[in-house]
Structure 1
Amino acid sequence: MSFSLTRRRLLQSAAGAVPALCVPDLLLAQSPYPNKPIMIKVAFPAGGPADASIRAAAVVMQKNLGQSVLADNLPGASGSICTMNVLRSPSDGYTLLGTTGIDFLVAPLSVRSARYQPESFKLLGLTGMSDFVLVSNPNHAFRNVDELIAYARKQGNAKLSIAHWGPGSAPHLVGADFQARTGLEFLEIPYKGAAPVSNDIAGAQVDLTFMPMGGPTLGMIKTGRFKPIGIASKQRNPLLPGVPALSESKALPGFEHSQWAAVLAPPNAPEAVVTRLNEAMNAWIRSPENRLRVETNLQRTLEPMTPAQTDAFIKSEYAKFTGIARKLKLSPA
């Protein structure tokens, strides 16, 4: 064998070995998602209902994904501080948003710093959903929505007040839709949170409010501190069979409003990543842990959704609540 031929073969062998040096990095880049811990940025304080449901879902997601799923709270400005933080993060599926539906959807219309398009985010799945219930203070004689409407329309009766926790908040929007559909006009009383609203309803300082089912609401109803007028859903809650759905009234056909918590991916997240995370969220929906939370917190039973169904759901909710918000002419503050 000639020297030139041997040298040529040696050079070819060396050249062929170079790509092999890059194989570990190449394999890492092509590893299936996820290959490192995932962080869910939660838009509300630790310990609240939304935070609790998101953290419970994260435990089940972690088992399904085979990677750590961590939660970090970043509250403020109706959740928009957290949302903007996630929006500025890479859209690779390792930084996700945990938030509540109505706040997330409406904040761009009421909070100046909320410079995002809600419908561009990828809804991965819901961690919980609570229907709103219309309650009055215990001193009122009306027992259902038709009696309430009759009372409000009767000349000589004092104008009823309705409490919520600030312009653009979920109870504000649901209450506004209720008034628009019934033709009633209540005295709006904004508070700084749900706790003082609960105290003043129980103390008969204010007449009405919409509260999410779950949390302390059921206890307040069962102890007589809240009088339930109706649930904003298509059907009655089995744990409160004597409380009608508001949609049973001829004045409120299809009146359905709920507060939901969810996990979302930022815009431009890869389709394969969205599909994998949606599978993990559906594992949460099917889990015994979720069924227990539904029963304990009077939440609505959820069904698994495909990415196409989650996309249709968030677009429908966006249209509904921004439609109400625009009628209120909310302005960013």
Structure 2
Amino acid sequence: MKTARLFAAAAMLAAAATSFAQGPDAYPSKPVTIIVPFSAGGATDLSARMIATLLSKQLGQPFVVENRAGAGGMIGMNVVARAQPDGYTLGWGGNSPMSVTPHVTRNPPYDPRKAFAPVSLAAISSWTLTSRADLPAKDFGDLVKLAKSSPGKISIASSGNGSAPHLLAEMLKQSAGIDLLHVPYKGEIEGVNAQLGGQVDLMFTSTSAATPQVKAGKLKGYAVTTPKREPALPQFPTMAEIGQPDLTIEIFFGLVAPAGTPTPVLDKLAAAMKVAVADTNYRESMEKAGVTATSSTPEEFAALLARHNERWLNVIKRNNITPE
């Protein structure tokens, strides 16, 4: 019996030693996956891939981006929410799956306020209200007149039911007193392609995706959702300037981990993110895409998520938007 106890004690000590060796100080000791909950392409995916490369160089292990699109970003973020909280499966969280879509979904797979441990912001941007190039409306006033003359016939795309662009569309319909036909797509790129192909008329497109298409004359732009005019598209007024102040909402995206991830791991990742986001090439690439590179502490990111969740919950309640 005494021998058995000694063996058991030795086994416990060995396990503790192994655990210590594989603890936060040794992190990461194997490849890390970053789940991007949207389709490949666009600034969100680009930023994740650039940051993954920079984190790999700093931390000495591969950071591999994996796209898991669908359900307004919830499919990918649910993978993160259910992953082991050890820092080896991370998420590239953004507005829709982190503060919007779960609140307008019946039986959502996770609570965005509880399922994740924020690490750091990576960028902040906006949406631009865009249309197909040949839509006969030169400005927002014309657009409203056109929609009112053809109730329910002007279509507006989104990156999925319950996504932030979908809610923005619903808010626009109510605030401008117009009836638009909502057409959900699997992701933003699919919606933009539908605009370019003339299958849909309008979309709240991320400014990063809208900028090259507008500058090339392939899409029209009407207004941006930032508090101030966007440097990338300074010719377009803000939503407040066109009389739609409730549509003043910024896009954010950044790195999150599953809830319960050890604080030392989060702090190590946050420190690495601060260096990565400060990288000159990353910042210049984001600026060209109409995005502002922005890092944060885990606490600052958590506070931003809390504000966005509260804001969207108020929007959903005020506009009588029910879960689907």
TM-score (norm 2): 0.80
What is aligned with 1:8? none
What is aligned with 2:211? 218
1:123-168 superposed Cα distances (whole Å, 9 cap, x missing partner): 212333331111234455654435545x3697xx333624123421
What is aligned with 1:107? 101
Select between 259-268 and 43-52 the one with higher mean Cα deviation: 43-52
- Determine if contact 2:42/2:208 at 8 Å carries over to the other structure: no
What is aligned with 2:86? 92
What is aligned with 1:63? 57
What is the CA distance between 1:188 and its match in structure 2?
2.0
- Determine if contact 2:232/2:288 at 8 Å carries over to the other structure: no
What is aligned with 1:184? 177
Q: How do 1:277-288 and structure 2 match up within 5 A?
A: 277-288=269-280
- Determine if contact 2:71/2:161 at 8 Å carries over to the other structure: no
Partner SS, residue 243 of structure 1? coil
What is aligned with 2:221? 228
CA distance in 1, matches of 2:221, 2:133: 9
Letter in 2 for 1:268: G
What is the CA distance between 1:273 and its match in structure 2?
2.1
Instruction: Work out whether 1:167 is the aligned partner of 2:133.
Output: no
Q: How do 1:137-286 and structure 2 match up within 5 A?
A: 137-139=132-134, 142-146=137-141, 148-149=143-144, 151=145, 157-159=149-151, 161-165=154-158, 166-180=160-174, 182-193=175-186, 194=188, 197-198=191-192, 201-202=195-196, 206-215=200-209, 217-249=210-242, 251-253=243-245, 255-286=247-278
Q: 1:113 to 1:50 in 2, by over 3 A?
A: farther
Partner SS, residue 240 of structure 1? coil
- Determine if contact 2:157/2:202 at 8 Å carries over to the other structure: no
1:58-85 superposed Cα distances (whole Å, 9 cap, x missing partner): 1112233343322333444333333333
**2:321 aligned residue (301, 320, 329):** 329
**2:126 aligned residue (124, 131, 155):** 131
What is aligned with 1:289? 281
Letter in 1 for 2:225: A
CA distance in 1, matches of 2:132, 2:45: 29
Letter in 1 for 2:248: E
What's the C-alpha RMSD, in Å, of the aligned pairs?
A: 3.2
- Determine if contact 2:40/2:67 at 8 Å carries over to the other structure: yes
- Determine if contact 1:54/1:261 at 8 Å carries over to the other structure: no
Partner SS, residue 78 of structure 1? helix
Counting aligned pairs with the same residue, the percent is 25
1:179-214 superposed Cα distances (whole Å, 9 cap, x missing partner): 33x342222231435456445545666543211112
What is the CA distance between 1:291 and its match in structure 2?
1.2
Instruction: Work out whether 1:317 is the aligned partner of 2:311.
Output: no
- Determine if contact 2:122/2:295 at 8 Å carries over to the other structure: no
Counting matched residue pairs gives: 307
**1:36 aligned residue (11, 29, 39):** 29
Letter in 1 for 2:303: A
Q: 1:81 to 1:189 in 2, by over 3 A?
A: closer
Q: How do 1:37-52 and structure 2 match up within 5 A?
A: 37=30, 38-47=32-41, 49-52=43-46
Partner SS, residue 113 of structure 2? helix
**Unaligned segments of structure 1, at least 5 residues:** 1-17
- Determine if contact 2:85/2:257 at 8 Å carries over to the other structure: yes
> Which segments of structure 1 move beyond 6 Å, counting only runs of 4 or more?
none
Q: 1:291 to 1:172 in 2, by over 3 A?
A: same
CA distance in 1, matches of 2:247, 2:147: 20
- Determine if contact 2:80/2:89 at 8 Å carries over to the other structure: yes
Partner SS, residue 32 of structure 1? helix
- Determine if contact 2:37/2:76 at 8 Å carries over to the other structure: yes
- Determine if contact 1:80/1:107 at 8 Å carries over to the other structure: yes
What is aligned with 2:4? none
1:52-109 superposed Cα distances (whole Å, 9 cap, x missing partner): 3212111112233343322333444333333333223222222212243213433324
Select between 252-261 and 286-295 the one with higher mean Cα deviation: 252-261
Q: 1:208 to 1:278 in 2, by over 3 A?
A: same
TM-score (norm 1): 0.78
